[in-house]
């Protein structure tokens, strides 16, 4: 029996959520984010075009392709936004702060890692939450243009690169967990998901494995349902 199921269409993009990473993760230690400053939110996003980089590594045996040992190495986001949180682009691209509001840019910047999350909205206003736990921002150029009688906002194209986490949770069901996560998605359009997870926590705390997802429940601390 053939069944046709009509789904809602994605129509919008919400605020951008940015949080600095203080300590990079290891294989046994989760990343540490800046809880003192917290997550910085800006209502400035126009679009976020993403592309996964897949490195193919085919294995041929007996004169035919046996398998592909390729992997996804990173996620590139072309983020068109009017602005990022104040001073965030400078901090993440390694600019040197000379004074309040004044930065110097050198030829060997040390880029810093951060977390980036955003909600996508559908035609009914329901959301899909995206969290990229480990990002870097490529140095940002300038694109000023003359002002005319009809003022037009100057939107910048930021290149955000999402890196795979090397952290692998040491839990009983680790084989079923998300290892080497590049990004995570929570579909709050599903009633059974919206009834369990807190939309604000997903965006403000971030999630990349079952332990971090557990903290984003409406009632934190209960075990994550393996079906969710």
The predicted-structure confidence for 168-217, as pLDDT tens digits, reads as follows 776 545 555 556 789 999 999 999 999 999 999 999 999 998 889 999 99
Residue 227, in any domain of the structure: no
Residue 225, in any domain of the structure: no
Residue 184, in any domain of the structure: yes
Q: What is the pLDDT of residues 95-154, one digit of tens each?
A: 999 999 999 998 889 999 999 999 999 999 999 999 999 999 999 888 888 888 888 888
pTM, whole model, 2 decimals?
Answer: 0.86
User: What backbone torsions phi and psi does residue 153 show, to the nearest 5 degrees?
Assistant: -65, 140
2: which residues sit within 8 A by CB, 6+ positions away? none
Residue 35, in any domain of the structure: yes
Q: What is the residue range of 134's domain?
A: 10-56+66-142+152-170+179-189
Residue 90, in any domain of the structure: yes
Residue 89, in any domain of the structure: yes
- Name beta bridge partners: 99: 102
Dihedral sign, CA of 17, 23, 29, 34? negative
How many structural domains does the chain have?
1
Alpha-carbon dihedral angle through residues 173, 176, 177, 181, given to the nearest 10 degrees: 150
Residue 217, in any domain of the structure: no
Residue 44, in any domain of the structure: yes
Q: Which residue is associated with the tokens 């997903």?
A: 202
């Amino acid at each position: 029996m053939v069944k046709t199921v009509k789904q809602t269409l994605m129509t919008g993009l919400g605020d951008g959520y940015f949080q600095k990473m203080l300590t990079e993760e290891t294989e046994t230690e989760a990343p540490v984010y800046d809880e003192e400053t917290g997550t910085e939110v800006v209502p400035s996003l126009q679009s976020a075009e993403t592309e996964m980089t897949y490195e193919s590594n085919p294995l041929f045996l007996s004169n035919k392709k046996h398998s592909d040992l390729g992997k996804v190495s990173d996620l590139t986001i072309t983020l068109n936004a009017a602005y990022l949180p104040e001073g965030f682009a400078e901090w993440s691209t390694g600019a040197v702060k000379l004074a309040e509001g004044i930065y110097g840019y050198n030829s060997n910047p040390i880029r810093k890692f951060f977390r980036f999350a955003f909600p996508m909205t559908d035609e009914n206003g329901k959301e899909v939450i995206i969290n990229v736990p480990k990002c870097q921002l490529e140095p940002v150029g300038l694109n000023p243009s003359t002002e005319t009688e009809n003022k037009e906002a100057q939107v910048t194209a930021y290149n955000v690169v999402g890196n795979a986490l090397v952290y692998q949770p040491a839990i009983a069901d680790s084989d079923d967990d998300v290892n080497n996560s590049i990004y995570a998605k929570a579909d709050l359009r599903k009633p059974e998901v919206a009834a369990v997870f807190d939309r604000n926590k997903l965006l403000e705390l971030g999630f990349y494995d079952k332990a971090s997802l557990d903290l984003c429940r409406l009632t934190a601390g209960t075990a994550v349902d393996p079906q969710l």
